[in-house]
Structures are given as C-alpha cells and as structure tokens.
Amino acid sequence: MFRIDTSKRTDESEIMDDFELQGRELDRTLKDLENINSWLGGNQITINGIKKLLPDTKATIRIVDIGCGNGAILRKISDWAKSNSYNFELIGVDANPYAIEIARNLSIEYKNVEFQELNIFSEVFKDMKFDVILCTLTLHHFKDRQIVELLNQLIDQAEYGVVINDLHRTRMAYILFQAFCAVFVSNEIARKDGLISILRGFKKDDIIEFARKIKGSHEVSWKWAFRYQWIIRQNNNL
C-alpha cells in the first residue's frame, strides 16, 4: 500500500506547472479545479480575507490575483463587491498565455475585471502597485526559498496587505480528496494535480517559519476544507 508522507513538502511537479498546457485540456482542467474549489468552500476564504483588509472607505480598491488561472475567484469577488456596494478594480495575472485567454473569454461581462500575461518575478510586475494582493492556491507551486522572496516582494507592492488561501498538507486531506475525486471528478489532470498540490501544501509550522522571515503582521487561521487563510498586513495599516 502506498504510504502517504506529509512530513515535508514534495518537490514533485504538477502538470499545470507547464505553461504550454493549452486548448480543450487546459480549459476543462481549469473548470474542474474551479468547481472543486467552489464545492469545498474555498472562494469564501479569500473573500473573508479581503474583508479583513478593507479600509473604511468606499473609494476604488485595486486588487490583483496572482496565478489567476481562468479568473474564477475574481468573478466571484466582483459579484460579491457589487452586492455589497464596493468599487473594486480587479486584475488577474498568470504566466500561462492560454489560461489568460480563457479567463478573458469567461469574463467578458465583467467590466471591472482585466487579465494580464505576466511573470510575477518580472521587473514589469514588481513595479506595479495594488491595494490588496491575492494568492489563491498559488503559493504551494513555489519552493521554500522562492516563497520568502515572493511574499516580501508582494508586501512591498500592497498598500493594505496580502491574502493567501492555500492547502493544509495532511494525510487526511489526501485520503479524503481521493474519495472526493472517485465520485465527483473524472478529469485525470485535476485528480493527479490535486493530490500533488496537497503534498506541496503547508503545515502551520511551515507558515510560522516563513512568517519569521517576511515583513508585515501575520494572521494564520485553519479553515475547512483543509485550508489555511494567511493574512499579511502592512505594518503601517494596523
């Protein structure tokens, strides 16, 4: 029987890490991942994180989601903002040009949402400023040393702070996701990548260790289903 080792983050790559993945296969996989995230309540974790960072103003708030995929979370946020009378300018960035094309096509009716093909480590992106930066199921794609570099960069770019929504690395999450996929997910890429994502996820001790090396004020909360909400606030906005 396969032994699930969650003691350390795996270095195994995901199929979705290939920025050349495109066409119908990419479209279907992104849609399945969107559905999984929605079914398991992941979108609300990000929205609740945004609420914690919002200032007491109705001025336009500029929000970016890095590694945005097909833009699903930005459409959810746009709907929530509209129903709560917030004025958001929403930007999705992703290094996969095919994912950006899909996101644009799915978001035509969302006038306050735009997408850009960008490498988040590029100088072009580093020079951009935002009020809030979202990192939704993206952080686990990076190595430990990259995470510290990236989050210090992002907190410098954010006026109010960064909202991270990512996976709890645990044997129980792995087993339950296997069972969930057996019933609800037929897409092989979504199945395989989902399991690898869990093994690339985080334990609370990992996050606490990262936080020691990253600027800002940190708030870490465990959320169902096996997620961590990690909020990094700018110290000047406490």
* Strand (E) or helix (H) holding 30: helix 23-39
Does any domain span residue 3?
no
Q: CA-to-CA distance for 83 and 48, rounded, in angstroms?
A: 15
Q: What are the pLDDT digits (tens) for 117-175?
A: 999 999 999 999 999 999 999 999 999 999 999 999 999 999 999 999 999 999 999 99
**pLDDT number for residue 15:** 60
For 46-86, write each residue's pLDDT tens digit.
999 999 999 887 789 999 999 999 999 999 999 999 999 99
Instruction: Taking the CA atoms of 178, 139, 93 and 114 in sequence, report the sign of the dihedral they define.
Output: positive
Rounded distance, CA 120 to CA 181, Å? 31
pLDDT tens digit sequence for 201-214: 999 999 999 999 99
With respect to residue 172, please indicate whether it lies within any of the assigned structural domains.
yes
Number of structural domains (the chain) is 1
Residue 114 inside a domain? The answer is yes
Q: What pLDDT was estimated at residue 1? A: 42
Side chain identity at residue 161, one-letter code: G
Range of the domain at 31: 15-233
Lowest mean pLDDT among 28-42, 91-105, 113-127: 28-42
User: Can you name the residues that pair with 88 across neighbouring β-strands?
Assistant: 61
On whether residue 8 sits in a domain, the answer given is no
For residue 48, being part of any structural domain is answered with yes
pLDDT, tens digit, for every residue of 173-202? 999 999 988 887 777 888 898 899 999 999
195 within a domain of the structure (yes/no):
yes
**Is pLDDT of 17 > 70?**
no
Q: Which long-range contacts (CB under 8 A, 24 or more apart) does 189-195 make?
A: 189/15, 189/16, 189/25, 189/29, 190/29, 190/32, 190/33, 190/36, 192/14, 192/15, 193/14, 193/15, 193/16, 193/29, 193/33, 194/33, 194/36
Decide: 213 and 153 in contact? Cβ < 8 Å.
no
Quick one: which of 12, 71, 78, 8 has its CA closest to 37?
71
Q: What is the CATH number of the domain that holds 192?
A: 3.40.50.150
